[in-house]
Amino acid sequence: MNRSEPLSLHGSCHCGRVSVELRTSSKTLPAARACGCSFCTKHGAAWTSDPQGELVLSYRAPDDMRRYRFGLGITDFIICAHCGVPCVAVGMVDDRLLGVVNINTMDRLSDFAPASPASFDGEETEDRLARRRKGWTPARVVCGEDEEG
């Protein structure tokens, strides 16, 4: 998909309580990666990001989302507490929240090319953080209740 302007991609979990927006500086869709870890494989997740863009995860109320960590313990997988869809993965890198979005949450999933396989097995913490500095998207997590008051 080629366009004349940067993209703003929208999506949500299955029940709609957790929504995502990826604002990308690119005029084409960013490539997606299908991580081969057991979590991503079992959930069928595929991830994309734009280091020049912005990722916004919004949820309605504090009990709408759950965070799950495993492996190196430096990544929060944000999962809808109601329907179980993993929406984004975020982590702190150099005092900045960076993240990737699960393309399977996107409203127009059919616009994405099939995800390329990716393996991060054996990656040490510093290597992983360096990769994220280069490739992950600056992120914000917003609760709708916080914005109402």
User: Is the confidence at residue 1, as pLDDT, over 60?
Assistant: no
Instruction: Write the CA distances from 148 to 13, 19, 109, 121, 139, integer angstroms.
Output: 22, 17, 31, 42, 21
| pLDDT bucket at 70, cuts 50 / 70 / 90 | very high
Domains of the chain: 7-122+131-148 (2.170.150.70)
- Cβ proximity of 77 and 101 under 8 Å: no
Is-above-0.75 flag for pTM?
A: yes
Over residues 7-55, the pLDDT tens digits come to 899 999 999 999 999 999 888 888 999 999 999 999 999 999 999 999 9
Residue 148: what pLDDT? Answer: 52
